[in-house]
Amino acid sequence: MSASEPLIRLKGITKTYGIGQAAFQALKGIDLAIESGEFVAIMGHSGSGKSTTMNILGCLDTPTGGSYEFQGVHVERLSRNQRALLRRYFLGFVFQGFNLLARTTALENVELPLIYRGDPAAERHAAARAALEHVGLQGWEHHTPAELSGGQQQRVAIARAMVSRPKVLLADEPTGNLDTRTSEEIMDLIGTFNREHGITVLMVTHEPEMAQYASRVINFVDGRVEKDQRNRGEI
């Protein structure tokens, strides 16, 4: 990737579900360029295409048409295994529902991405402990999700996403299940990773208050980008 090239570029991305008369076009030609280190909020009503776009960006789904370049590599041309490697080494995920394993400890949950990568046990333990400390959960390593508050569970999820030192953090409604104060704490934490560690953040949210933390806001309407602007109200 040359210095002038964006980290991520989408060109004419379309996505159609179903065939024939039952076909539904979720994306109708998305063009986007995301620079390394940006904090981007993606907004839109249900059915606008924002979640479909995030799934494509996260290699959880593939486009019907168009091109998706990540660091100059055409992702749409990669095999399933190659896309899995891209997820494993370059992407971190945080979801609204936390997606933690219920019967495993916070430490074990955070270790999961490193297990998939095949990292040695001692390195995994050390990295997971450091990640939990980074999100303010030192001393909570051996608690299961049921023993943690919603905010603490989301902190574990963020630690799990960041433990592999990803290039991009994809956050899908990361504060959707949290109260206002806890939401602000989580957004401050995500903002810190963006500012201090240069992590590119792509966040889907329906909450304007949470979008204020981003440096750029992209609005989707009916499978298209309606508005893409710098965020003057950035927190």
Q: Are 186 and 199 in contact (CB under 8 A)?
A: no
Kindly report whether the global pTM for this prediction surpasses the value 0.85. yes
Rg from Cα positions in the chain: 18
- Decide if pLDDT at 174 tops 90: yes
Domain 8-230 has CATH 3.50.50.60: no
CB neighbour list of residue 119: distance below 8 Å, 6 or more residues apart = 127
Beta bridge partners of 35: none
Give, as one character, the DSSP assignment of residue 168.
E
pLDDT attached to residue 2: 52
What are the structural domain ranges in the chain? 8-230
Residue 25 to residue 222: CA distance in whole angstroms? 9
Question: Residues 129-169: pLDDT tens digits?
Answer: 999 999 999 999 999 999 999 999 999 999 999 999 999 99
Q: What is the edge-to-edge ordering of all strands in the sheet holding 65-70?
A: 24-34, 8-17, 65-70, 73-74
Question: Residues 68-109: pLDDT tens digits?
Answer: 999 999 999 999 999 999 999 999 999 888 899 999 999 999
